[in-house]
Every structure is written in structure tokens, then in C-alpha cells.
């Protein structure tokens, strides 16, 4: 037990060190190119902690990407490179809006039913590429990439022809009924009950993946198809249920995002939080328990960028560049499987084994 903890700590330390170096490598030259370098650095790095409201903002930004990160984790663990999370997220938000506006939902259960509708319809974006892969051997990565855009335009069509509020001016849906919206947790922020769902989902996902038989089976299938076939595991059924689970989670994330944050549905572009989910999953090493800190960290970067954009007028996209660099560094085997690091870990384990 102890040696596991120790090696885990070494890996965590390396991860944190790499992230810090990457953030500084990008931020410092960027800050120096601006008029007030110190203001940029301190605004970005310290701004998010300057008040309780900003800390609440971090949690608010982290909520959807915890869920899309969990969706990406479940799907990647099955061994398919299905990138439908982005489409599921969009479709989930749209379908929850449609359910809240068009269906006669009973008041007390409206949020629950709308989120369920979002999850179920949203899951299609992950289920279809998965099904086409398993049934017809169509490459899931390519089909999921283009399907995301097909879904986007279908969604804008539905928004424009069925949900659009003609009085709103821009392309916006009707106002979401107050009963269907999620409850706010912290005054002054948009932190809502979706955050609780996200945390519970992550813990449940972690327990499922590491403590149940079907979770173990899924991990085996993702690691080695051949071995799983030798064990006689039902490949198609398990992989398909992983796509379904991932799609449901990503769809739910979209529904929670819309019902929790916005008075109306307004997405006419892919919101990009499905992609961020992939980054979260990679940062968390596809471990559901680590998703929450990973998402909080990306949320922190986002809030820092927001802080900059409000204070100094630098666009929030700074966060995007930093996140992309972190994404690269996290998969760099030259760092994380460097011989000296592996040797260090092995030595730690051996010392532990020699001790009485």
C-alpha cells in the first residue's frame, strides 16, 4: 500500500512540475510582450483567488468539464477513439431546452426530466459512431468528428424553426421556464446544483471502473482486445455500453450547462467543452477520481483568463493556448516514461520490498 502511495506521489509531483513549467513557459513571454507584465501575471495566476465569488466561478466553470471529462474517460477506456462528446454536449443542451419548452413537464420534476431528455438524446452523438464501428467497422474517429458538425447544423435548424423567440432579436430560444432551471448554490456566481451531480457522477464512475466487475472488464478490453477475447468477455456489448454511458454523461453535461447557467439556449457554434473534456481526461490519466482536481485546475486557468479579459482587455483565448500546451506535455512519453523517472520509481518499489 505504502509503496503505491509513494510512487503515486512521485508521478503527481512530476505532473505538477510539468504543468507549472508549461504554464510559465507560455505566460511569461506573453506577459513580457504586454505593457504591464506583472499585472498580467498576477491577474492571471492570483486573480481567481481574489474573492469567494471568483473561487465559486472556478467551480462553475469546472462543472461541465468534470462531466465531459468523465464521458471521455469512460469512452477512451473502452479502447475506441470516439470523439462524439462535443456533439453529445451540444445535443444534450439543445434537447433539454426543447423538452423544457415544448413538453408539458410537471413543475416539481421539470429539471430532472429535462436533464434526462438531454442525456438520452445527446448520447446519440457517441452511440452512432460506436455502433457504426462495431457493426460495420467504419472508423469511429472520423465519423464522430464529422457527425459533431452535422449535429451542430441540425441543432441550429431546430433552434431556428422550433425554439426561436421572434421577440428576442438574435437567434435565441424562448426563455427557459424558471421551474426547469437548476438551483443556484452560491450567491453572485452561477454555481448550481449541477456541480453536486458532477461530483457524485465522478465518484460513482471511479467506483465503477476500479471496484466492480464490469468496470474491470471494460479496462481489460480497452487495454487488450486479444486478452479479453481469451477471457470470453462480451466485447461488443461492453464497448457499446461504454459509448452509451459516455454519451449519456456528455449529454447530461450539456443539459446541466444550459439549465444551470443560461436564461435561453443560444449556441450556434460547437461550445468546445467536449474537447476540453478530452484534455481533462488526459490530465487525470483517465482516472475518474482525479478528474475533479484536473477540471478545477482548467477552470482556474479559464477564470484567470476571464480576469485578464475584464481587467486588461486581453481575450480569454489565452487559456486555450495554455491548455493545448498542457495537453501535449501530458502525453509526452519523453517526460513521463523517461528512463530516469522509471528507474526512480523502480528503486522506490524495491526499497519498499526489501524493508521488513
Cβ atoms within 10 A of the Cβ of 80, count? 24
Cell of 30: 506573453
236 binds other proteins (CB under 8 A): no
Cell of 255: 443539459
C-alpha 132/C-alpha 271 separation (Å) is 25
- Binder to other proteins among 132, 203, 312, 345 (CB under 8 A)? 132
Only one of the segments 9-17, 113-121, 290-298, 329-337 lies at the binding site for other proteins (rule: CB under 8 A); that segment is: 329-337
348 binds other proteins (CB under 8 A): no
- Binder to other proteins among 317, 342, 346, 350 (CB under 8 A)? 317
The closest of 3, 307, 56 to 195, measured between CA atoms, is: 56
323 binds other proteins (CB under 8 A): yes
Ranges within 81-120 binding other proteins (CB under 8 A): 81, 83
- Binder to other proteins among 282, 284, 290, 292 (CB under 8 A)? 282
Q: Is the dihedral of CA 250, 122, 273, 170 positive or negative?
A: negative
Count of residues that interact with other proteins, criterion CB under 8 A: 48
Residues 6+ apart with CB under 8 A from 150: none
C-alpha 10/C-alpha 55 separation (Å) is 28
Q: Are 105 and 57 in contact (CB under 8 A)?
A: no
172 binds other proteins (CB under 8 A): no
- Binder to other proteins among 1, 108, 178, 337 (CB under 8 A)? 337
User: Angle at the Cα of 233 (from 227 to 238), degrees rounded to 5?
Assistant: 115
45 binds other proteins (CB under 8 A): no
The closest of 319, 331, 308, 250 to 88, measured between CA atoms, is: 250
161 binds other proteins (CB under 8 A): yes
162 binds other proteins (CB under 8 A): no
- Name the residues that contact other proteins, by CB under 8 A: 81, 83, 132, 135-139, 141-143, 145-150, 153-154, 156-157, 160-161, 269, 272, 275, 278-279, 282, 314-315, 317-321, 323-325, 327-329, 331-335, 337
Amino acid at each position: 500500500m505504502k509503496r503505491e502511495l509513494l510512487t503515486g506521489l512521485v508521478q503527481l509531483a512530476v505532473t505538477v512540475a510539468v504543468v507549472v513549467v508549461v504554464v510559465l513557459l507560455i505566460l511569461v513571454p506573453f506577459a513580457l510582450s504586454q505593457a504591464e507584465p506583472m499585472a498580467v501575471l498576477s491577474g492571471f495566476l492570483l486573480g481567481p483567488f481574489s474573492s469567494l465569488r471568483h473561487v465559486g466561478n472556478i467551480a462553475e466553470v469546472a462543472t461541465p468539464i468534470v462531466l465531459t471529462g468523465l464521458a471521455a474517460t469512460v469512452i477512451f477506456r473502452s479502447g475506441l477513439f470516439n470523439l462524439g462528446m462535443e456533439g453529445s454536449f451540444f445535443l444534450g443542451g439543445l434537447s433539454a431546452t426543447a423538452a423544457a419548452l415544448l413538453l408539458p413537464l410537471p413543475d416539481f420534476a421539470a429539471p430532472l426530466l429535462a436533464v434526462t431528455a438531454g442525456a438520452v438524446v445527446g448520447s446519440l452523438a457517441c452511440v452512432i459512431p460506436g455502433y457504426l464501428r462495431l457493426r460495420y467497422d467504419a472508423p469511429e474517429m472520423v465519423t464522430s468528428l464529422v457527425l459533431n458538425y452535422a449535429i451542430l447544423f441540425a441543432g441550429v435548424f431546430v433552434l431556428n424553426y422550433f425554439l426561436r423567440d421572434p421577440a428576442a432579436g438574435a437567434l435565441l430560444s424562448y426563455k427557459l421556464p424558471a421551474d426547469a432551471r437548476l438551483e443556484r448554490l452560491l450567491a453572485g456566481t452561477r454555481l448550481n446544483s449541477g456541480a453536486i451531480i458532477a461530483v457524485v457522477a465522478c465518484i460513482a464512475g471511479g467506483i465503477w471502473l476500479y471496484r466492480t466487475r464490469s468496470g474491470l472488464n471494460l479496462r481489460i478490453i480497452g487495454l487488450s482486445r486479444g486478452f479479453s477475447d481469451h477471457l470470453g468477455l462480451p466485447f461488443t456489448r461492453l464497448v457499446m455500453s461504454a459509448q452509451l454511458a459516455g454519451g449519456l454523461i456528455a449529454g447530461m453535461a450539456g443539459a446541466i450547462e444550459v439549465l444551470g447557467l443560461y436564461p435561453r439556449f443560444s449556441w450556434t457554434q460547437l461550445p468546445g467543452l467536449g474537447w476540453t473534456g478530452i484534455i481533462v481526461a488526459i490530465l487525470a490519466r483517465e482516472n475518474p477520481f482525479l478528474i475533479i482536481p484536473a477540471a478545477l485546475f482548467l477552470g482556474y486557468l479559464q477564470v484567470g483568463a476571464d480576469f485578464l479579459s475584464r481587467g486588461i482587455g486581453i481575450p480569454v483565448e489565452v487559456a486555450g493556448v495554455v491548455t493545448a500546451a498542457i495537453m501535449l506535455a501530458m502525453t509526452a512519453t519523453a517526460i513521463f516514461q523517461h528512463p530516469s523517472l522509471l528507474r526512480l520509481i523502480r528503486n522506490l518499489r524495491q526499497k519498499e520490498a526489501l524493508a521488513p
